[in-house]
Amino acid sequence: MGLMAVDQTQLLSKMATGNGHGEASPYFDGWKAYDENPFHPTQNPNGVIQMGLAENQLTVDLVEDWILGNPEASICTPEGINDFRAIANFQDYHGLPEFRNAVAKFMARTRGNRVTFDPDRVVMSGGATGAHEVTAFCLADPGDAFLVPIPYYPGFDRDLRWRTGVQLVPVMCEGSNDFKLTREALEDAYEKAKEDNIRVKGLLITNPSNPLGTIMDRKTLRTVVSFINEKRIHLVCDEIYSATVFSQPSFVSIAEILEEETDIECDRNLIHIVYSLSKDMGFPGFRVGIIYSYNDAVVHCARKMSSFGLVSTQTQYLLASMLSDDEFVEKFLAESAKRLAQRYRVFTGGLANVGIKCLQSNAGLFVWMDLRHLLKKPTFESEMELWRVIIHEVKINVSPGSSFHCTEPGWFRVCHANMDDMAVQVALQRIRAFVLQNKEVMVSRNKPCWHSSKLRLSLGPRRFDDIMMSPHSPIPQSPLSYKDTLIPE
């Protein structure tokens, strides 16, 4: 039986064959480059280092220790087998009460216990990805829009738009102002949408920010709350990086603004938090997403919709136990912040040594690296040209600012928490070699001209046997476009 290429557009739905997933972006292309040639310290030392994936692997050892010490929490163990039947049979979409209690408590803890969360408002979903989609389904109709400050996480184009038909309208944030969100920018975006006959239903903010790694200060959050209240639109706050804040100033949740800043008018029915354990705990594979809405109708509707993306009860059971262990949670959060701070210091310090600056930040699993001085011209074409050199010759997968809808060419997001110290050193060594080589060429030609093909990517004399590697990217290996799909003849 042979294989024949077919045009799947005739067989599948428009949604299935359209580009709504947003995979045609350098953000995902970088992952593919890594998948095709992944770095391994001994087996593939010249491979691509994955620095395009915001994963938190710095504290996995603490979780592993807890799991070993609490075998009954994983019900498929001799110690946990007594609870197996009840848990495996449980299918209520409200979730296990002990899971919701533990999540509500954890959310309060990651906000310094300055606020409390009601377990009855905790709705689960398949990661923050699912939480965003469910929230968009609840709040907007096809064609309606959410305002989103740029630069923003590229997955939003898929999560909020693809299946819901919702649009995203950018809110300009500029490098000259450290990409801070302003009232003027919000007004401009809102007015522009109105001129284009687009109905704005909400504003989506990410705090702490991906890709910037910065947090929103209280004043900005107050501005945001006043704005959405005046316009009578919803506010969705993605707070999935709340426990990745590793130095001062501390994180301020929208929940704190609601509870503490009582002098500003705010209809709580308009406020919704999206949370997840993918970043703060480093569990993206568990697919634990949370919608926490202050609006009863949204809670009820989201809960019904969550039927399409529930968290497995085995995972709920395990996490209920883990997150209720106060001693573990305290130690985990403190250690996580310490390790993230250390990684940030080492990585940004290494970049600074070769004259590369990053936006000052204190959260997240990445830095927002400024390579504007390495662009041949201040254009997105030049940014892509430089990005291709970084991927294919420096062999590091970083994500260009354009994939985050940044309007200023030359910024790149670099993730640093999905690898161990040795891998970071290899990455820094490669960047150093690239910059130095580039400098020589710049001196002779007086402009950036990336002669990196002769870069030495060797690892030097150190042992790298135990370098922690990022697993495969969360997209399938070499995704095929529908035109290339092969079916048996």
Ligand X SMILES: Cc1ncc(COP(=O)(O)O)c(C=O)c1O
- The footprint of ligand X (CB under 6 A) covers 54, 127-129, 153, 155, 206, 210, 238, 240, 276, 278, 284, 289
What is the sign of the dihedral through the CA atoms of 126, 238, 262 and 188? negative
From the list 75, 215, 228, 240, the catalytic residue is 240
* CB of 213 vs ligand X, minimal distance in Å: 11
* CB of 148 vs ligand X, minimal distance in Å: 11
Give the bridge partners for 206, in sequence order.
238
CB-nearer residue toward ligand X: 129 or 293: 129
CA distance 444 to 128: 49
* CB of 300 vs ligand X, minimal distance in Å: 23
CA distance 80 to 320: 14
* CB of 201 vs ligand X, minimal distance in Å: 19
What are the angstrom distances between the C-alpha of 268 and each of 198, 303, 387?
Answer: 24, 19, 43
The two structure tokens encoding residue 404? 């985050």
Query: Can 377 be counted among the known catalytic residues?
Result: no
Question: Quick one: which of 162, 235, 238, 170 has its CA closest to 198?
Answer: 170
CA distance 457 to 158: 35
* CB of 239 vs ligand X, minimal distance in Å: 9
The two structure tokens encoding residue 248? 């001062």
CB-nearer residue toward ligand X: 280 or 408: 280
Query: Can 279 be counted among the known catalytic residues?
Result: yes
CB-nearer residue toward ligand X: 314 or 437: 314
* CB of 403 vs ligand X, minimal distance in Å: 13
From the list 238, 280, 290, 395, the catalytic residue is 238
CA distance 471 to 53: 10
- In our burial notation (b when 16+ CB lie closer than 10 A, e otherwise), range 333-372 reads beebbebbeebbeebbebbeeeebebbebbbbbbbbbbbb
Query: Can 192 be counted among the known catalytic residues?
Result: no
CA distance 411 to 417: 19
CA distance 75 to 84: 5
- Starting at the edge strand found earlier in the chain, the sheet holding 167-171 runs 122-126, 288-293, 271-276, 234-238, 200-206, 145-149, 167-171
CA distance 147 to 192: 11
CB-nearer residue toward ligand X: 310 or 428: 310
CB-nearer residue toward ligand X: 255 or 374: 255
Closest CB to ligand X belongs to which residue? Answer: 127
Alpha carbon 287 to chain centroid, angstroms: 13
CA distance 343 to 112: 23
CB-nearer residue toward ligand X: 179 or 450: 179
CB-nearer residue toward ligand X: 128 or 168: 128
From the list 153, 190, 241, 344, the catalytic residue is 153
CA distance 131 to 125: 5
* CB of 53 vs ligand X, minimal distance in Å: 8
Query: Residue ranges of the alpha helices (H) in 261-367?
Result: 296-305, 313-323, 326-353
From the list 105, 201, 279, 395, the catalytic residue is 279
Amino acid type, 353: N
CB-nearer residue toward ligand X: 152 or 294: 152
* CB of 128 vs ligand X, minimal distance in Å: 4
Q: CB-based contacts of 10: which residues, under 8 Å, 6+ apart?
A: none
The two structure tokens encoding residue 285? 């594979």
CB-nearer residue toward ligand X: 359 or 428: 359
Query: Can 153 be counted among the known catalytic residues?
Result: yes
* CB of 85 vs ligand X, minimal distance in Å: 29
Active-site positions read 153, 238, 240, 279
